[in-house]
Amino acid sequence: MTRPQGPRQRAYRPKTSTGCITCKIRRVKCDEAKPHCRKCSSTGRKCDGYTSSSTKTTPSPFVNRLDTIPGLFFRTLSAESQTNIGPNTEKQTSKCVNNDNLHRPSNPTKPVYPTITKGNHILPSLSTGIQLHTSKERELFHFFQTHASLELPGFFKSTFWQREILLATQTFPAIRHAVMAVGALHRRYISGNSTGQEPKGIHGVEDLELRFALLESNRAIQEVVGTGGSKQKQKEHRVTMMTICVLFNCMALIEGRHQEAFQHLRSGLKLLREADEEEERVDNTVTADQVSHPVTLKSLRSIFIGLDAQARVLMKGDVGTEHWEPAPKHSITFPPESGSNNTYDMGDAHVYLESTLNEFLAWANSLGETRPLSDTVDLPSTHEKFLRLKGQAREGGNILEDILSNPSITRDPTQHQALLALRLLRAVVDLALTAFEVRRLGRPEEAEIFESQNHFEEIMIIIEELVAPTSTGPPSSISSHTPSSSLKPSTQRPVFSFTFGVMTTLWWITQATPSQSMRIRAIQIMMQHCRREGFWDGPVAGRLAWEAVLLEQSSTLAELGIGVDTPKYLRIRNIDMDYAGVSGIRVEFKNLRAMERGEKGWVRMIKWHNSMEDKEINGNES
């Protein structure tokens, strides 16, 4: 008798949850002998006993037995204790959420989770539902929930970081391990042990947290290996994979590993594209809304759009745009469909404007040159594409205007920074489109007039209100002999966020404004605030911009003498960055003349915590 062809299937056996803790961890069947099982005793292992939840009864649905799962951790902090975040957080007073707040869901496949509010943020109650085995796990998960999840969204609220990701840790071990790894690296970063710095000692807190993060990352990878199951399970697994891509990207950016961050971002964008293509197929019967996963595709889309926009600004010297994923599309309909009751919130305005900026950057990069478009380019289709983007930006502005017309939002002090950040994003999108229209689609004389004007004053005012700069920083007047190493960042606590902020815009200002005083204002803010926003590190960008100013002044002094403003052909117009892991960045500065002649520029090696080092200076640029 021949065996039927096809993969072998393991015979079904009912699973139990009544074994000892040690056997559960080892994933072996326990004989349940009391007080210590023979499976552990016969192999020389220590039997850790049985949990109080081990019963002979059939387990009830997940949401109805949350209170019986051991090792759970949650705290609600007072306003005073919220600022005391560190290794001793377990000494703070804890207050568990009463299990009476749990409600049975109408749909058993989608549990309804209780929530608590913290200021203007809504956080899920995780007093039950997560099994954390060690005090280190509880400590770092608590840090992520009460601090990192609030700082990572930057100036905005985020359902992904402050609700969905926390809910996903209850049922998806891979996400739980990755979340704790992010918490460990985030706390390590804000404690001052940031990229490239040596650990204080073998047994220092930073070194232990780095090892913990690596261990949790490996566990997360092991959990997500393999796919299978029904179409709905495959969709659920894809959402988990996209979430892991976001978390791993976050870890890479905290550590300054930009090449790894690019890889994780590209993988996430590919998965998002595949999800969109699958949703467009006629034969698809399981929609995204039917996937039982706490993390929504809408939240993931918003995060990937923002990261993609940040990466495209840096992509020129690092990743070939021809092999990059296309810009993801937003899913917001404007104007609202007839008969719908759609009302837009700040999150919608954020996604709409950021998606417009990202799509514009992808299109502008595909055109290649920075000079005016020649007759060889299909100008009619180029104008059509530009007008569509300009109309999309106008629609995003209309969404923002509708929000600003709501007094309940504009008068809410907790929304002030988010509204400022949206105004800044809108100004950046409008100015970027205007600059492209004048420089690439306009006449040369119009571009010359536009270049001589300062268009950044309104943007700078918004930025200064957002970050409230201190009085320290570079001097208001710069000497060409001032060493770049004398420009030190402030001693403020480092801040890491994951979304659109101010550093990318400040970098653009230092490269584009004709006003020397405004360049210095922008450099001051970058150097005074130890902020890292996604791919952009403020102090590092400030040091690069400062070096560009010094190179321009030294070139002007050598060629034209003292007291002469830097001419246009000696302005630094191109800065290529090649990230060398955690050691630093190799940077090449080129002025306009070097770009036109195809010559090499000044090469510097910038280390994360040391001053600039000369590696090569091409004499043609002196």
In this predicted structure, what is the pLDDT of residue 359?
92
Q: Is residue 43 part of a domain?
A: yes
Is 49 part of a structural domain of the chain? yes
How many domains in the chain? Answer: 2
Q: Are strands 572-579 and 613-616 parallel, antiparallel or unpaired?
A: unpaired
Residue 30: what pLDDT? 86
Separation of alpha carbons 247 and 430, rounded Å: 31
Residue indicated by tokens 């402050």:
162
pLDDT of residue 241: 94
* 80-114 pLDDT tens trace: 333 333 333 333 333 333 333 323 333 333 333 33
Is the per-residue pLDDT at 369 higher than 70?
Answer: no
pLDDT tens digit sequence for 400-459: 999 999 898 889 888 999 999 999 999 999 999 999 988 888 777 888 888 888 899 999
How far is the C-alpha of 556 from the C-alpha of 285, rounded, in Å?
A: 67
> Could you tell me if residue 394 is inside a domain?
no
| pLDDT tens per residue, range 589-607 | 999 899 888 888 898 887 6
Look at 4-13, 171-180, 430-439, 577-586 and tell me which has the smallest mean pLDDT: 4-13
Domain hosting 50: range is: 24-57
* Beta bridge mates, 590: 574
Query: 136 or 118: whose pLDDT is higher?
Result: 136
> Is residue 232 over pLDDT 50?
yes
Q: What does the buried/exposed string (b/e) look like for 357-396 if buried means 16 or more CB atoms within 10 Å of the residue's CB? A: bbbbbbbbeeeeeeeebeeeeeeeeeeeebeebbebbebb
pLDDT (tens digit, 9 = 90+) per residue, 289-310?
456 789 999 999 999 999 999 8
Boundary (domain end) residue, out of 57, 75, 99? 57
Q: Residue 290 has what pLDDT?
A: 55
Q: How confident is the model at residue 331 (pLDDT cuts 50, 70, 90)?
A: confident
Q: Is pLDDT at 123 greater than 70 in this prediction? A: no
Angle at which helices 503-512 and 457-467 cross, to 10°: 150
SS3 608: coil
Give me the pLDDT at residue 433, please: 94
The reply to whether 554 falls in a domain is: yes
Boundary (domain end) residue, out of 57, 75, 105: 57
For the ranges 46-60, 185-199, 331-345, 433-447, the lowest mean pLDDT is seen at: 46-60
Please compute the mean of the pLDDT values over residues 194-217 and round it to a whole number: 63
- 255 in a domain, yes or no? no
pTM to 2 decimals? 0.72
Residue 604 main-chain phi, psi, to 5 deg: -130, 150
Q: Is residue 264 part of a domain?
A: no
Does residue 42 sit within a domain?
yes
**Most confident option among 25-29, 59-63, 278-282, 563-567:** 563-567
> Would you say 295 and 275 are in contact if contact means Cβ atoms under 8 Å apart?
no
Burial state string for 50-64 with b = 16 or more CB within 10 A and e = fewer than 16: bbeebeeeeeeeebe
User: Is 586 contained in some domain?
Assistant: yes
Q: Which residue has the higher pLDDT, 615 or 547?
A: 547
Residue at which a domain ends, from 7, 39, 57: 57
Measured between alpha carbons, how far is 494 from 189 in angstroms, rounded to an integer?
Answer: 7
